[in-house]
Structure 1
Amino acid sequence: MNKRLGFVFFTMSLLLFFYVPTADAAFWELTGDTNVHDPTIIKEGNTWYTFSTGPGLQVLRSDNGLHWYRVPQIFLQPLSWWNTYVPEHSENDVWAPDIEYFNGRYWLYYSISTFRSNQSLIGLTSTHSIHSGQWRDDGLVISTASHHNYNAIDPQLTIDANGEPWLAFGSHWTGIKLVKLNASTMKPTGNIYSIANRPNHNGAIEAPTIYYRNGYYYLFASIDSCCQGVNSTYKIIYGRSTNITGPYVDRNGNPMMNGGGTVLDAGNDRWRGPGHQDVYNGIIIRHAYDALDNGNPKLLINDLYWSGGWPSY
């Protein structure tokens, strides 16, 4: 090999050595304990945390984002006040958390409910440091009962372009709702807006995630049926709006208030019923039911790719 060719080869080798693939929405190869349902993710320092549905809110930790292990749950016992709003809830089964960092604290919203009921609540706990393991009970955020036409579960905190906090939530009934939060209490203030619905599909839409990027608010949601293992028909859809309160439309201009939504992920032969997504710092996570492991729900992570102002992976 002559010197010129050797230099080219050496340079290309260096480029390959230092290149970390992030384009084309790379699929993260995860190891360890990845059993989750309804995951949300955040990073504190160099440590990753995923919170998910389960006894007392389940917590996974990772030191590199790839290998995960389980650490102690948030609530060792049910909080006494839960029973006031959801009296049929007798176990320490906590659903669909969302965690975000805002104004110097980590805010962890969660749901208490029972299947096929909208007698539900969204609660809040917070901490100055996840590492500390010290969580403060911030109490009730919002509750619903049988006379309401919406459901107080699946919360998601988002911060708008002006630095103001909002909470998206909702499952079935009349779909996805949005309410502004008081930045001091992190509790609702003002009107509840409707931002997405599926009136011709029994309201089968839930798990909202709003993500702001380049002048648009992107609303991701999950539609159809979860919680049936490999028979789940869950899938992830999205739309966007220039205003956080909507109207949101999909890539074809169909309003999400009238059943619109572009499908982002409908699963594949192995990963069935993907959904309950969370978008965080350029990645998207969700659970899907593993056909190679008796339909157990697992954590999946992808880099999120954007083209022409729309997401894909």
Structure 2
Amino acid sequence: MVTVVETRALTKRYGRHVAVQNIGLQVQRGSVFGLIGPNGAGKTTVLRMLVDIIRPTAGELSVLGETPRRAGAAMRRRIGYLPGDVNLTDRVSGRMFLQHIAQLSGVVAEHKIDQLAERLELDMTRPVRDLSKGNRQKLGLIQAFMHEPELLILDEPTSGLDPLMQREFLAMVREASSVGQTIVLSSHILSEIQHAADDVAVLAQGRLVAHGDVASLRLTSVARLGAVIADTDALTLHTRMQALEQLEDVHIHPTPDDRIHRLTATIRGDMDPVVKALATFQIRDLTVEEPDLEESIIDLYARTK
């Protein structure tokens, strides 16, 4: 396996403030690597160091086999970079903007820009400064993908995109990975990383909380359960649910019908015993919600200490 990105003890300080500290990562060629964490966790700082927008205070950094601060423009042409805030104010059309970027980024295949614009449903004739946030994001994605770079570095790539375009973006990521391109992307949306990434690094307060493949990290080990149960009494339901070690914060809420009750709880760990226990009751409604990201990270941190 070929390592495309590697960091060792990567640290960035701004005076007394430590943005990231002792970050060690490895990204293999052709993989999709996700950086996940709440806003302010240090994700953007790490990605900006990869493309030499900012430089580390300490530690080692290798991208495409080179040190970014020494590699210069030649290495940057091998990268497609999408910043976290696509702030474009140009008067020119989207097409003219991308044609200008293409002169700097390297060879762009004929019709590639139009193909990407069609996939993302972007009107290329409108002035860049008149585009909505979502359409500016689409323009940013096109400029990152259009020259088919060896490495894509994408900071919060689905910000401002509607669900349909989010799915299209994930399809673009899978296609890029299938032909050997490497993708590093950040997000604060748990489900997005789970659907896109092979490997994940979890950041919190500038530190690496955990890293590994998506399945082994079990990032959704905490979930919220809601159910409406019929034809039972509150005491029986509460006793049965309290007996499950996977459930915490079990609450039984009354309804106008004393044989119908609303159950809420937190699921921690294996879902299967909970589903089997609920199946013994008559269920009128059932929801299992993804946890808040910070809650999931706190739980993950507790399990890896």
TM-score bucket (shorter structure)? under 0.3
| TM-score (normalizing by structure 1) | 0.26
Higher relative contact order at CA 8 Å, sep ≥6: structure 1 or structure 2? 2
Query: Greater share of helix residues, 1 or 2?
Result: 2
| TM-score (normalizing by structure 2) | 0.26
Higher-Rg member (1/2): 2
